[in-house]
Amino acid sequence: MACRSILALPAAGLGFFFSALVLKLGLNSVNDDLGINNLSYVMSMYVTLILWVVIAPAVGVMVRAQLVPMMIRTRRAGRSRIIDVD
């Protein structure tokens, strides 16, 4: 459990830089078709950061909304204990 939490932050950092690189390469390959200028790596990092800030809370809300009915069902069945499998 502790190893996962220690490695989560560097993995998120690598994912951020990789997704910014993919965004830069993807938009620069179609920039003539979309009518935009070349996108620098720093600008793609800004766009990626904004997307992560907007999308991450939305994903958290969706996951929590799916977990609440499952918790209600288990409490109705009489199993209100939480068992950690890790």
37-51 pLDDT, tens digit each: 888 899 999 999 998
Nearest to 23, CA basis, from 11, 35, 41: 41
Q: What is the pLDDT of residue 42?
A: 92
Report whether 51 contacts 42 (CB < 8 A).
no
Could you report the per-residue pLDDT of 20-38, keeping only the tens digit for each? 999 999 988 888 888 888 8
Q: How far apart are CA 32 and CA 16, in angstroms?
A: 26
Q: What is the pLDDT of residue 48?
A: 92
- DSSP-assigned states of every residue in 38-85: PPPHHHHHHHHHHHHHHHHHHHHHHHHHHHHHHHHHHHHTT-------
Q: What is the pLDDT of residue 37?
A: 85
